Structure formats: structure tokens, C-alpha cells
Amino acid sequence: MSLKAVLFDFNGVIVNDEAIHQQLLEQILLEENIKPEPGQFKKFCLGRSDRACLADLFASQNQPLTETSLTALIDRKAKAYQQHLEEIDPLPIYSGVEDLIFQLRAAHLLMAVVSGSLRAEVERVLERAKLRQHFSVIVAGDEIAASKPEPDGYLLAVQRLNQVKPLLNLTSSDCLAIEDSFPGIEAAKRAGIPVVGVANTYPFHMLQRQANWTIDYLTDLELDRVRQFFE
């Protein structure tokens, strides 16, 4: 077993936009005459796709929601996010992302993104931040049926990386995931992937109970020590 690939979560790991998503979701819910209870955004939305988040928020209020209506809400939120994004310069990319990518490239490790966000959102942020070219694979929330904490996204990422580099014979145990949320950590572990929890969203001590390693910041990740674990 050796470390061959690093799989990044997106929101809360690469880009600091959770507050933006919460604001946009709350606005949409307000327009639909729904007021979530305190703490429900964290419970239903952090680390999960908009589809799963909105479906659970409506269900928590005993409000009916057809598949057509759900898709329309997701589209509304996506348009609002893209518009908001265009007004932000520079983008809120987390400190340490570029340095970590440099280290991973120097170590000849593959990189992928596994996110609950829409692919268009992930692509747009990575392109504007000039990071897109470093990721061999992107698995987005609109490409999988089951959101985190289900392992589907991570399993698909491993499959796609094998298509990119078939001679690597990549398995889940050859990968490292970087996550900031409990659903994300659970998804990676259920896929058989060791996880680094970065305390961007939850306190260090809470992540420490679930992740294989926990760091305060991406700059604290000691790649050599992590690689020793795999070897």
C-alpha cells in the first residue's frame, strides 16, 4: 500500500464559501415561506449536496416538494451563487491550498475533487483560482444519486482516476481524503479511504473523534508523515 492520490472536498476545504451557501439557501427558503430552525443548516446542509439539503429542510417542515420543484429550487440557487461569485474578487480560497497542491505535484500524486456542489460551480471556482489544471478528476453533486455521507462520490472518483491512469491500479486504500465535515469524513471512510479532517468548519476536537488525522489548517498537513502511514 502506498499513497497515490489525494481527494479534496471542495466547500470548506478549497473555497471558504459555506456562509454564502447558507445565505442563499435561507433566502430561497424565505421566498418559499419556510423558516429553518437554528442549527438546521449545519445538520442538513454542511458537506451535502443542495438536493439532499433542500429535500431534508422541506421534509423537516412537513412541506411537500415534488422533484420538479426541487430541481427548480436548485437551479435558482445555482444562478444566485454564480452571480454572487462574479462579484467577489479575489475568491475566498483557503490559505495553504496552493502550497499543498505544489507539494502533491512534486510528490507525483494524483489529485481529484469530490464535492456535493454542482459541477459548474466547482469548475468555475477552480478556473478563476487557476487551480483547475491540477485536478485529474472532478466528481460533483449533480453526477451522483446519493449525497455524502454515502460513499458513492469517493468510489466514483477512484474509478475515474483509474481511467486516467490505469497503470496505477488505484484502490481506495491508496488514497487520502481531505474533509471538513462529518458527512464528508463518513463518506470517505465508508469508501475505505483514510481521512484528514481540517478544522475550517468544526472545532479540532470534534473532528479528531472521527478523522484519521486532524489539522487546524492545510498548512499543518505534514505530507511525509502521512506517506509513512501508507508505507
Taking the alpha carbons of 60, 61, 63, 69 in that order, is the dihedral positive or negative? negative
- Judge whether residue 171 has pLDDT over 90: yes
- pLDDT at res. 180: 97
Tens-place pLDDT, residues 74-111: 999 999 999 998 999 999 999 999 999 999 999 999 99
Averaged pLDDT for residues 126-150? 96
Q: What's at 99, amino acid-wise?
A: D
Q: Is the pLDDT of residue 227 over 80?
A: yes
Mean pLDDT confidence for 5-10: 98
- Sequence ranges of the chain with CATH classification 1.10.150: 18-86
Dihedral (Cα; 205, 206, 207, 211), 10-degree rounding = 90
Write out the three cell numbers for 212.
484519521
pLDDT category, 15, cuts 50, 70, 90?
very high
Q: What is the chain's Cα-based Rg?
A: 17
Which pLDDT score, from 0 to 100, does residue 101 have?
Answer: 98
CATH code 3.40.50.1000 region(s) in the chain: 5-16+93-230
CATH architecture for residues 18-86? Orthogonal Bundle (1.10)
Coil, helix or strand for 175?
Answer: strand
Q: What are 111's three cell numbers?
A: 489529485
Question: In CATH, which of 3.30.2350.10, 3.40.50.80, 3.10.20.600, 3.40.50.1000 is domain 5-16+93-230?
Answer: 3.40.50.1000
Which SS3 state, helix, strand or coil, does residue 225 take?
A: helix
Q: Are 227 and 104 in contact (CB under 8 A)?
A: no
**What pLDDT, in 10s, does the model give residues 43-76?**
999 999 999 999 999 999 998 899 999 999 999 9
Provide mean pLDDT across the span 199-228: 95
Q: What angle do CA 66, 70, 73 make, to 5 degrees?
A: 140
Task: Give SS3 for 78.
Answer: helix
* Mean pLDDT, the chain, integer: 95
DSSP reduced 3-state for 77: helix
Give the helix/strand (H/E) hosting 176: strand 175-179
pLDDT of residue 1: 74
How many alpha carbons fall within 13 Å on the CB side of residue 37? 10
Question: pTM of the entire structure?
Answer: 0.94
Least confident segment among 32-36, 89-93, 148-152, 218-222: 32-36
The pLDDT value recorded for residue 64 is: 87
| CB of 200 closer than 8 Å to CB of 16 | yes
